Structure 1
Amino acid sequence: MAFRKLLSALGIQAPSIETVVENPAVRPGETLRCVVRVRGGGAAVDIERLRLDVVVRAEDHEADGSTAWQHPHPVATADVGGFRLGAGETIVRDVTFQVPWEMPLTHGRGVRLPGARAAVRTELVIDDAVDKGDFDEIAVHALPAQDAILQAYETLGFRLHEAEVKVTAEPWPAVMEDRRTQPYWQEIDFFCPESWSRGREELETVFITREDSLDAHPGGNPPVTFVYADLEQQVWTEALGKHVRHCWGMD
C-alpha cells in the first residue's frame, strides 16, 4: 500500500509507513513475505514497537453481518521491536511469517469463500500511542487436498454456503478426536442435498490440516483422515460420502 501518515496527534510532520505484502496469495504451510518501510517526519522519534500480525475474521468476535471486520483474531505475529527513527530517515524491515497449517482459508477451488477474510495488520507504537494501521488483505488458497474435499462435497450434491472462524482454547468433545494445535478452527458450511438432508439443512466441515495429511470433521462427528500422498479424487469422494452416511446412520 502507499505511504500512510501515522498518529495524527504528532502533527503534519509525523512519520509515515508503508507495508508491502510481496506474495499476497499463499497456502497453509507456505512463507508469507512482507516489507515494511518507515519514513521519518520532521523530527526524530523513538519507535517503541513495530509489530505485524496475520489476522482473520472471527465470526464470534464480530457483530451481526457476514463481512464484519472490526475485531480480527491474530493467528501469527512478528514483533520487530523498537528503534530510533531520525528526521527524514527511512528504515526498512523484512518480515516473514510461516503460515500455520491450520490457517483458515479465504479461497477454495479458486473461488472466495463467503464470510472469509485474512490480512496483514501493521501496528506501530510511539509515545505510548498505538497506530494499528490499515489491513493489507491476503488470499489464503486451499491446499490440493483441501480442494479435493471441497470438490468431493460438490460431487456428492452439497452446495457451498459460507465459512466461519471460531476461537476457543476449550477442547472438543472426545468423540471428535481433537487433534487441533491452534485455539481456532474454520467451519465451512454446505447446504445439504435433499437426498441427504434427513431433517438437516446444512452440514459444517472442519479441516484440521497437517504437513502430510488432514482430518475432515463433518458436522461435529469423528474425522475421516486423508493422506496427501494418496490423493485420488474418486476414491476420496467415495470415502467422504461413506463416512458422512455412517455418521448420519444412513448405511
Structure 2
Amino acid sequence: MVFKRLLGSLGVGGPAVDTVLDPGAVTPGGVLGGQVHLRGGDADFTVEHLTLELLARVEAEHDDGESEGAVVFHRHVVGGNFRLAAHERYSVPFSFPVPWETPITELYGQDLGIVLGVRTELAVAGARDKGDLDPLAVRPLPAQEAVLEAFGQLGFGFGSADLELGRVGGTGQQLPFYQEIELVPAPRYAHRVSEVEVTFLAGPAGIEVVLEADKRGGPLSEGRDELTRFTVGHHDVDRVDWNAEVDGWIRQLVEHRAPYGGHAHKDEYGHHDDHDHGHGSGPGTGTAIAAGAAGLAVGVVGGMVAAEVVDEIGDFFEGEDEEGEEEEDEYDGGDEDE
C-alpha cells in the first residue's frame, strides 16, 4: 500500500498512515509483526495514540433472519504521545501475539472465505480516525491442520466456512464469536448425516475440537443435530494416528455413542450449547499425517468460489475506507493489549 489516505476527520492536510504487515500468514496465538509508517501533514501534530485493531466479518442470527457486521476482537496500542513534524516520515515497529482463538483464513494456502483485517487508528489533537486497513491471513496450527487433513483423507470435502456471533456452551471460549468449518460427509456417512461442522477453540495448552453433525431422519424419526467435543494437546501432533483418531470421533458422533455428546441447539444469538460439559478422547498411536496440498485443500477454492472470496474481501475493505463508519461498534467485544 502507499500513502493514499489522508485522515479525513483530522482535516485537510492531516497526517497519512500506512501499515505494512510482515509477509506470510500468522498462526493463532502467534506473533503479528510489521511497521506503521506515518507521514506528517501540513503542520506539526502530537500523536496521542496509535492503535491497531483486529477485525472480523461475523454473522449474527436473529428471530427475523441473519445479518453481518464487523467485530473488533483485539486491540494493541503501538505507541503514543510523540510529536510528528510537518511532512516528517516516521515509522513505528510493532510485534504482538494475536488471540489463540483467531479464526483460520486459509488451508495449504487456499482461501477459506473468512474475512479478517488489521485497522490502524491514529488519534491526534483529540480527534480520531480509523484509517489504514489491511487483510490478515491466518494459517492453522499443526494440530488444527492435522485434524482437517485427516477429514480430507477420510473422504470429507470442504463445504464452507463462516464466523458466528455467540458462544459454544460448556467451553473455555474467549472471543465473542466462533468459526464453523462445514464439511460434506464422506460417502460412507452420507446416508447418516448431511454435513459435519468443525469448530476449533485453541488455547496455550491445546485445542478443543467441537463437532456437530446434522443427522438425517428416518421413516419413523426426524433429523436432529448431535454435538460432542474432544481435546487435543499441541504436543500430541506427532504421537497420533489422526486418520484413526478422527474416524473414531465421527463414528461416536454419528452413532450417538459419544460419552460426552448431547443435543445441540442455537439460541437467538446463534451460539451452540449442549447438555454435558465434559471432554473426551486421548492421543492415539502412530505418526502424524504429513502436511501437503491433499485432502480438504483440493475442494477449498476453485473457479467461482475463488472469485466470490476476492469480491467479499474487496467489498469489506473498500466499504470501510469509503464510508469511514465504525460498523463494528454494534458487535464490539474484543480485548485490548496495551
TM-score, length-scaled by structure 2 = 0.63
Secondary structure at 2:94's aligned position in 1? Answer: strand
- 2:181 aligns with 188
Do 2:193 and 2:254's aligned partners in 1 also have CA atoms closer than 8 Å?
Answer: no
Per-residue CA deviation, residues 155-206 of structure 1 (Å, 9 max, x unaligned), is 22211112112233x561xxxx412233322111111234313453221111
Match of 1:141 among 131, 135, 139: 139
Q: CA deviation at 1:22?
A: 1.8
- 2:217 aligns with none
Per-residue CA deviation, residues 113-134 of structure 1 (Å, 9 max, x unaligned), is 1x21222111123455442223
- 2:248 aligns with 242
Q: Distance in 1 between matches of 2:52 and 2:28?
A: 18
Q: CA deviation at 1:223?
A: 1.2
Per-residue CA deviation, residues 59-95 of structure 1 (Å, 9 max, x unaligned), is 339x989xx7xx4222321123444322122332222
| Stretches of structure 2 lacking an aligned partner (at least 5 in a row) | 213-225, 258-338
User: Structure 1 counterpart of 2:17, which letter?
Assistant: I
- 1:206 aligns with 199
Q: Distance in 1 between matches of 2:66 and 2:81?
A: 37
What pairs with 1:91-102 in structure 2 (closer than 5 Å)?
91-102=90-101
- 1:109 aligns with 108
Secondary structure at 2:28's aligned position in 1? Answer: coil
Higher relative contact order (CA 8 A, sep 6+): 2
Per-residue CA deviation, residues 22-71 of structure 1 (Å, 9 max, x unaligned), is 2442112221112112211111234343211122222339x989xx7xx4
- 2:2 aligns with 2
Distance 1:39 1:75, change over 3 A: same
Match of 1:124 among 112, 115, 122: 122
- 2:227 aligns with 221
Secondary structure at 1:132's aligned position in 2? Answer: strand
Do 2:10 and 2:124's aligned partners in 1 also have CA atoms closer than 8 Å?
Answer: no
- 1:86 aligns with 85
More helix by share: 2
Do 1:109 and 1:150's aligned partners in 2 also have CA atoms closer than 8 Å?
Answer: no
Do 2:28 and 2:100's aligned partners in 1 also have CA atoms closer than 8 Å?
Answer: yes
User: Structure 2 counterpart of 1:200, which letter?
Assistant: V
Q: Distance in 2 between matches of 1:245 and 1:55?
A: 36
Distance 1:182 1:8, change over 3 A: closer
Q: CA deviation at 1:108?
A: 1.7
State percent identity of aligned pairs. Answer: 31
Aligned residues: 240
User: Structure 2 counterpart of 1:224, which letter?
Assistant: F
User: Structure 1 counterpart of 2:32, which letter?
Assistant: L
Do 1:76 and 1:97's aligned partners in 2 also have CA atoms closer than 8 Å?
Answer: no
Q: Distance in 2 between matches of 1:33 and 1:9?
A: 27
TM-score, length-scaled by structure 1 = 0.83
153-162 or 18-27, which moves further after superposition?
A: 18-27
227-236 or 190-199, which moves further after superposition?
A: 227-236
Q: Distance in 2 between matches of 1:191 and 1:206?
A: 15
- 1:77 aligns with 75
Q: Distance in 2 between matches of 1:144 and 1:56?
A: 22
Q: Distance in 2 between matches of 1:127 and 1:25?
A: 35
Do 2:56 and 2:117's aligned partners in 1 also have CA atoms closer than 8 Å?
Answer: yes
